[in-house]
Amino acid sequence: MATFSVNSERLLGHIRELGTIGRESDGRLSRLALSDADRLGRDCLVSWIRAAGLDVAIDQIGNIFGIWANDKNRDQPPVMLGSHIDTVINAGIYDGCYGVIAGLEVIQTFKDADVRPDRPIVVASFTNEEGVRFSPDMMGSCVYAGGLDLQKALATRGTDGAILGSELNRIGYAGNYTPGFLHPAAYLELHIEQGPVLERTGTSIGAVADLQGISWQRITIEGQANHAGTTPMAFRSDAGYVAARIMTFVHDRASASEASGVATVGTIAFEPNAINVIPSRATLTVDLRNPDEKRLLKDERSLAEFLSRLQTTEHVKIQAEQLARSSPVTFDPEIVALIEDVASSRGVTSRRMTSGAGHDAQMLSAIAPTAMIFVPSRRGISHNPDEFTSDEALVEGANVLLEVVRRLM
Amino acid sequence: MATFSVNSERLLGHIRELGTIGRESDGRLSRLALSDADRLGRDCLVSWIRAAGLDVAIDQIGNIFGIWANDKNRDQPPVMLGSHIDTVINAGIYDGCYGVIAGLEVIQTFKDADVRPDRPIVVASFTNEEGVRFSPDMMGSCVYAGGLDLQKALATRGTDGAILGSELNRIGYAGNYTPGFLHPAAYLELHIEQGPVLERTGTSIGAVADLQGISWQRITIEGQANHAGTTPMAFRSDAGYVAARIMTFVHDRASASEASGVATVGTIAFEPNAINVIPSRATLTVDLRNPDEKRLLKDERSLAEFLSRLQTTEHVKIQAEQLARSSPVTFDPEIVALIEDVASSRGVTSRRMTSGAGHDAQMLSAIAPTAMIFVPSRRGISHNPDEFTSDEALVEGANVLLEVVRRLM
């Protein structure tokens, strides 16, 4: 079989064109799920799918599918390539969009070369991956894989008060297909890394072997507000100090571990938040991630024990509320090995890695052999206009995807 | 000489009456300096001073003096008793007001008994002690003691844009007397403790021997925002973690010290303050206090060295800005001993203590032998409607003040 390459101009052109849709008056890119901007992005994607000669299918949660099938292979389980095109507020142009557009590009490349695969190839764009306007994130893929009830998802109320099902209708993307109507033989998601590992190690391709389990907690500490000058150290119930102890505990524990778990305190608030008043209350969030469920459970347990000790030693009340929890996902070892093999055969470097972010692939892995391919992100930045991956890296990633699909189809 | 006692009904009645002035529609007490509410409080105080038969003098920064002098003692340096009647937002009724009203009560008690002191006795109410609307705090006493230029103080712009001198004129309290026109032989300030020490130790009277020096800094840490899941611990520049390290450093250092210094981080903010983003920036304030200037300097130096080390080890940029700095004040040892002696002679417990808060006495100590008398604050609370001192304790404090003045006059 001949060596195929994607049409790099078409691939990059599509990425850039989609990146112009949903710009606010100040130039910021925001295509929040099921907004007018999302509708415009969806319309653009659907027009490309139609122009490529694929069948378009929309399911009841608004997931968009471009199906390339023929009479001979139509009954076979397809290879599905997907991601999402909704964005965060003030986003970059690559996150999600790259995977969808590259999936379409792979199909077009095969189609242009008149290849006749044994099974259909499908490009999928899943609804509300980002979870900014409607919670939870990865909603469309979760419903598709049977992890979330459709009616419950449709009844979700957004941060702006809108009901998800109504918004789907309003923008014309409430489809008729039942989520899960296509059962893939394999699911592949090409994505920017959104982390610094590939860039820092000078690696071209990430063969993503697993995805971290995530534990989000909100911790509230109740102390006693008192005058910062007149209250001796020994008489204090300083909620702010306890927050600091929690921050250093989770950070230092993750840093000292040899596993690839991470721990982050991203938000904090003190009350009354006055320079000369001991904080009566501190609220912080803890984001723990680990690719090993046993270790994640151990991290959670050790934090709970530490909170319990602090309550006694620091004379405060502490409450911990679980905001989100997902178990780690292990991707299909054969597809991961195939990605490494393809990279090697193309003469580019690759490394097995863990995805620290959640992706639609994590939902699809419940119903199909799944893996992800990462390309480098400059300085690891994403969810930000500074998100950047070089054209060469984007094209290389799409060509690796192309060859992996060729060997699977 | 006979034993005197203040008129407790008059004392407590005045405290309660002044506490009714400046209530907002929701019942909150706020007499911000030079506001309409402050004018009403001043009018009330001046009416009491006049009713007591004292001379009223207003100086150019709006400090109010009630002067009890006669032809024989008029040329002698007076004993001055004072504090302030401006309040914070949503204040209690005791902070400041107690000292002014008790000062007036002491004079009235002597006057009622037809005592003829060798020197004048003056009650003083200083402008803008709280510093909420106009900065710096303790402004009236600072101008009076020569620590701040009068014209500069009059030109101060408030948080609401108002100019202090215009506001003084507007409310009718821009007087003609030159600040410092009376040079006291001694200055005494009776005040609620605003801390928990007297209550916790079951002590009636605090003989305040010194007042902590204060160092306020704003520390800004610049790290690198990155994805909380995809950025390995070793690759992070986590501004939030560095903030936590600073918090535990200053707290643990103050706690471990045998000196009576304190350290507080009362305010904090993260950017972007998102649960799954490593903070790119953290801003916190550090409030360091110590009654010993050498120790306070050492605390500041050790913090600066720690910040410098963190810059290197944590790959962040740290800036520290001094927001306020005052040196510790040592009060007059003879008056402090006199306060202890008076308490003892009255059969009540006393203890030498450090004032952790700033007071007008700290300014007056630059021009006169000065000391303060503290009474217990329930749970150490002040600057809050829950501020409370029992009637018995208020009366006891005023009687101690009365006897100290008797021995000084």
User: Which of B248, B267, B357 is nearest residue A244 as measured by Cβ atoms?
Assistant: B248
Give CA–CA dist A50/B407, Å, rounded. 100
Show residues of chain B in contact with A279, CB under 8 Å. Answer: 265-266
With CB atoms and an 8 Å threshold, state whether A227 touches B380: yes
Give CA–CA dist A288/B99, Å, rounded. 53
Portion of chain A with pLDDT greater than 70, in percent: 100
Residue B321 assigned as binding residue: no
Average pLDDT, chain A: 96
Residue B191 assigned as binding residue: yes
Q: Under 8 Å CB-to-CB from A163, ≥6 apart: which residues?
A: A154, A155, A156, A157
Three-class SS of residue A347?
coil
Give the pLDDT score at B103: 98
With CB atoms and an 8 Å threshold, state whether B231 touches A356: yes
With CB atoms and an 8 Å threshold, state whether A264 touches B195: no
- CA distance, residue A105 to nearest chain B CA (Å): 27
Show residues of chain A in contact with B380, CB under 8 Å. Answer: 226-227, 230-231, 235
Show residues of chain B in contact with A278, CB under 8 Å. Answer: 264, 266
Secondary structure element (H or E) that encloses residue A372, with its range: strand A370-375
Give the pLDDT score at B227: 87
Q: Has the ipTM of the complex gone over 0.85?
A: no
With CB atoms and an 8 Å threshold, state whether B231 touches A265: no
Domain locations in chain B?
A: 8-211+329-408, 213-326
CB pairs under 8 A between A and B: 209
With CB atoms and an 8 Å threshold, state whether B381 touches A233: no
Q: Helices in A55-212 by DSSP H: which ranges?
A: 97-112, 139-144, 150-154, 164-170, 197-201
Best of B138, B230, B285 to substitute, by most chain A Cβ atoms within 10 angstroms, is B230
Give the pLDDT score at A369: 98
Q: Under 8 Å CB-to-CB from B144, ≥6 apart: which residues?
A: B59, B61, B63, B126, B179, B180, B363, B364
pLDDT reading at A111 higher than 70 = yes
pLDDT, tens digit (0-9, with 9 covering 90-100), for A336-369 = 999 999 999 999 999 999 999 999 999 999 999 9
- CA distance, residue A46 to nearest chain B CA (Å): 31
With CB atoms and an 8 Å threshold, state whether A230 touches B277: no
State the average pLDDT over residues A330-337: 98
With CB atoms and an 8 Å threshold, state whether A264 touches B228: yes
State the average pLDDT over residues A72-91: 96
CA geometry: angle at A222 spanning A220 and A224, to 5°? 155
With CB atoms and an 8 Å threshold, state whether B230 touches A254: no
- Cβ(A18)–Cβ(A42) below 8 Å: no
In chain B, the largest separation of any two C-alpha atoms, in whole Å, equals: 84
pLDDT, tens digit (0-9, with 9 covering 90-100), for A39-70 = 999 999 999 999 999 999 999 999 999 999 99
User: Which of B233, B262, B289 is nearest residue A254 as measured by Cβ atoms?
Assistant: B233
State the average pLDDT over residues A283-288: 97
Measured in residues, chain B has a length of 409
Give CA–CA dist B7/B109, Å, rounded. 7
The residue among A166 and B324 whose pLDDT is bigger is: A166
pLDDT reading at A2 higher than 70 = no
Closest chain A CA to residue B354: A230
Residue (of A24, A195, A192, A190) closest to A93 by Cα position: A192
pLDDT reading at A97 higher than 80 = yes
Domain B8-211+329-408 part of CATH 3.40.630.10 = yes
- Cβ(A83)–Cβ(A99) below 8 Å: yes
The residue among A16 and B226 whose pLDDT is bigger is: A16
With CB atoms and an 8 Å threshold, state whether B276 touches A266: yes
The residue among A4 and A347 whose pLDDT is bigger is: A347
How confident is residue A1, by pLDDT bands cut at 50, 70 and 90? Answer: very low
Q: What kind of fold does domain A213-326 have according to CATH? A: Alpha-Beta Plaits (3.30.70)
Give the pLDDT score at B4: 84
> Mind listing the pLDDT tens digit of every residue in chain B (409 residues)?
457 899 999 999 999 999 999 999 999 999 999 999 999 999 999 999 999 999 999 999 999 999 999 999 999 999 999 999 999 999 999 999 999 999 999 999 999 999 999 999 999 999 999 998 998 999 999 999 999 999 999 999 999 999 999 999 999 999 999 999 999 999 999 999 999 999 999 999 999 999 999 999 999 999 998 889 989 999 999 999 999 999 999 999 999 997 789 999 999 999 999 898 899 999 999 999 999 999 999 999 999 999 999 999 999 999 999 988 989 999 999 999 999 999 999 999 999 999 999 999 999 999 999 999 999 999 998 888 999 999 999 999 999 999 999 999 9
- CA distance, residue B75 to nearest chain A CA (Å): 39
pLDDT, tens digit (0-9, with 9 covering 90-100), for A210-255 = 999 999 999 999 999 888 998 999 999 999 999 999 999 999 999 9
pLDDT reading at A378 higher than 80 = yes
Give the pLDDT score at A217: 96
- CA distance, residue A89 to nearest chain B CA (Å): 12
